[in-house]
Amino acid sequence: MTTRYTKDHEYVRVEGDAGIVGISDYAQSQLGDVVFVELPALGKTLAKGAEAAVVESVKAASEVYAPVSGEVLEVNSLLEDAPGTVNEDPAGRGWFLKLRITNPSELDGLLTEEQYNEFVKSIS
């Protein structure tokens, strides 16, 4: 199982030809308490870098971008009633959406976990 990261703090966990997209632990800690998540419609086609979701903390709204291109297969409906799950378990139960990855080669341009951790260290 491979997980890749963007410099905008999204992750994509690759499971076969699908990718689970969420935000990193660093991102949730920077946002603070998440109070609302707007998720895309099922079947929507997202280009890499397009707005995939919106995450709202008490303070502000932030966009979540698609780390790779794909079609939305599933969204995490748990976040509708329990948006704080993003803070509690960002890499697990706090995932946002599942994409069918249309161009797997885009994954090569993303950061590995080690590279991402180095990047976070360099900005914090």
- Quick check: 35 binds another protein (CB under 8 A)? yes
- Quick check: 60 binds another protein (CB under 8 A)? yes
First to last CA, the chain: 28
Structure-token pair, residue 3: 């997980």
In angstroms, the CA 45 to CA 23 distance is 19
Helix then strand then coil, % of the chain, to nearest 5: 25, 40, 35
Nearer to another protein among residue 16 and residue 123 (C-beta): 123
Q: Helix (H, G, I), strand (E, B), or coil: what is residue 9? A: coil
In angstroms, the CA 97 to CA 103 distance is 17
Please select the residue that binds another protein; options are 3, 4, 5, 10, rule is CB under 8 A: 10
| Least distance in angstroms from the C-beta of 38 to another protein | 7
Nearer to another protein among residue 46 and residue 55 (C-beta): 55
| Least distance in angstroms from the C-beta of 74 to another protein | 20
- Quick check: 112 binds another protein (CB under 8 A)? no
In angstroms, the CA 16 to CA 92 distance is 17
- Quick check: 88 binds another protein (CB under 8 A)? no
Please select the residue that binds another protein; options are 2, 50, 58, 103, rule is CB under 8 A: 58
List residues near another protein by CB under 8 A.
Answer: 8-10, 23, 27, 30, 32-33, 35-36, 38, 54-65, 80, 83
